[in-house]
Homo-oligomer: A and B are copies of this chain.
Amino acid sequence: MSQDIANTPPAPYYAVIFTNLRTAVDEGYGDMAEKMVALAAQQPGFLGVESARDGLGITVSYWKDLESIRAWKANAEHQVAQQLGHAKWYAAFKTRIARVERDYAF
């Protein structure tokens, strides 16, 4: 997964905060997670992604607007991944759609 701080443009933009707990089932999880990051990066309005896990997993993807987020959620390959995630890989998750109003960096 991504090991960098995302280089997002000036606010406002949107964040999808995906927090999750995994099951013990692996079965293709790592490959699918990598594939989804690569596929997301090709979508219109994609601005970046940050990801970390130690027990709890947190993936934050950044998007130009709500329409870009809707289109990514509806993407056919992503739909398959979401269904597998629900059925096999995630014990629990929460997805939050948020508007980034300001940011600062060091």
Contacts and interface: CB of A to CB of B under 8 A. Distances in A.
Question: What's the number of copies of this chain in the assembled complex?
Answer: 2
A27 B4 CA distance: 24
Which applies to chain A's interface (DSSP): helix, strand, loop or mixed? strand
A96 B56 contact: no
Contacts of A20: 5
A6 interface: yes
Interface string A85-106: 0100010111111111111111
Interface string A53-71: 1111110100000000000
Interface of A: 2-6, 8, 11, 15, 17, 19-21, 50-58, 60, 86, 90, 92-106
